[in-house]
Structure 1
Amino acid sequence: MTRRRQVLGGLTVLFGLFAVAILWEVVGTVFFALTVAYVLAPVRRRLAGVGASRRVAAGVATAAGFLGTVVVFSPLLFVLIVRLESVVDAIERAPETVTLELWGFSHTVVTADAAAEATDAIVATAAGVASAAPVLLIKLMLFVFVVYSLLYSERSLRRAGLALVPPGYRDLAGALHTRARRTLYGIYVVQAATGIATFLVALPVFLAFGYPSAIALATAAGVLQFVPVLGPSLLIVALAASHLLAGDVAAALAIFLVGGFLVGWVPDLVVRPWLAAETAKLPASLYFIGFTGGVLTIGAIGVIVGPLAVALVSELSSQLSDEFNRIRVREEPD
């Protein structure tokens, strides 16, 4: 029986790698759907607990995941497609040179080349998104189908997965499950809640500073909460830089200080601690390493894969340390 299990396990790994190679173009979509279903599983269970059928509970949870995905990505698509012309015009209106004067010192900065490169990059990105629209639509449909299927079959999939783990290692599987759930919860739920709070704080700030597209800027600040450590501070720095390019040093300092505190820090100081019990318990430095390394290595899906991989390695290291400590305690004489 053991020999048969080994053969089945080897064949499963072999054909799994073959399937990944054949389906590589949708592996990222399937993985994204898997993580979303992982986070939505408690929602499905709660709906089932109040009397909803398995099909209805899975459908409602899938709809919530779909709407959340659309809310996160639609502002970026809106800027790249609908407001592309206004963004390019704003960059092209920037002066070719800017003289910065502060405390009696002056320095002239040439901005023409940087503005041209930024315009080319934005236009190329928008063209790429537009040309890939049919493929993105197919992947979105696949995402919805996979999430629903995983949620609908959650119980049987959980039993099948647990059956593959030897009884002596099921505590380790449980620890990895808990760490993965907290990491994904931190990536999706906590960041989304902080993003909403960032939007609510940023909107009056940008209105007070008189920006013409305050709603779009506040939305961008909320979306940027998904970028660890830096977050909406990137937007604040960009706005301060735009004022410097216009030669308005006072406005640049004002938005950098006021916006940096209210938009960049207040949501993290107020909202995130409320949800701290459900976060990944992962240091910011390791989270940033996972995020950066994941994005640079495998692209956009690395935003999820990188921190998740680092979190699981951290959990395994903790388990290994505990195991050695238990062995040392047993071996020490009384």
Structure 2
Amino acid sequence: MMMDDQIKKPRAYWHPVALSKSLKRAKPLRIMLGGMAYALFRTTAGGIGCVKDICPHRFARFSEGKVVGGEVQCPYHGCKFNAQGRCTEIPVHNGEVPNRFVKNLAAREQDGLIYVTDDKDSAGEPHQLKWDDQPYVRRIIENKVGTSLVNVAENVLDPTHTLFVHKGLMRGLTDKTSRVTIDVNGNQERIDIKFSGEDVQNGIVSRLLEGKRSYSTGSFELPGIVEIEYWANGKMKLANTLMFSKIDENTTRGFAVLTAPRQFGLGFVKAAVFIPLLKHIIKQDRVMMDMSHENWEANGRPNRAMSPTDFVRPNIEAIMSGITPPAAINPVRIVYEL
């Protein structure tokens, strides 16, 4: 049984680290990725710089400084560094600037998010959000959870916990259940799940906002992307793309990107109702996962007891470890009463 979620990456990836609107023109933004601190800043060319959030001179945080001429300036002695991590100016020094560098990452904006990578050539393009040809409404929710990326991704794709953690909101509003067929398959870097037979989830959210559906799908892929789609009559009714990155081994940052049909303006009304409900659901998950992780730590990190209903976790663990997931070798079909 694998106890952690170390990524053995076959290539580099773009990692989402901040909302575009969080990064201002004149002020750097401190972010954490993989246990390391970085400072984001906007350049004069319209791009984004990302350097380690530590000045090599006396180790002050760049993020406590400011942006001057598209470069980040240390708040201690005023040294300036560009997006390539090179020192370009040392105040009151009139001679040649010595070769002084700080580690930098490539950074870019897309779909309202800022992504970084340590190898942009290998990383290719950031994840492309899926949607069909309908006019759409889109909203993004940022969240942080005190547990591993594997635990968070499993939580999103696991249908059984919704009967308890989200009772009444997502499922379990009444005693009525649906016979749901779950098909799971995948490949080296991805698993795909299809849920059929649940026309409407027995919860307030679906009853108020969704209506009948044909089927829904879920997927997980590297470096930490979960996609959930709801379909009806050949059209997408909702797409929820959740992109996760490791703040450290025990803390995960997530961005939920929700896309829904505009429906001549009705979509904006639905979004105004749905977003507060979703934030409450996310909070319920966060409280449960934080508590579970703290309890796991407090009890000496025991091995997890696997349940017959745990069809998601072994596949996510395998993908994160660079191993072919079980569902890619032996696709499975499960039937649950949900």
TM-score normalized by the length of structure 2 = 0.23
Higher relative contact order (CA 8 A, sep 6+): 2
Structure index of larger Rg? 1
Structure holding more strand per residue? 2
Structure holding more helix per residue? 1
TM-score normalized by the length of structure 1 = 0.23
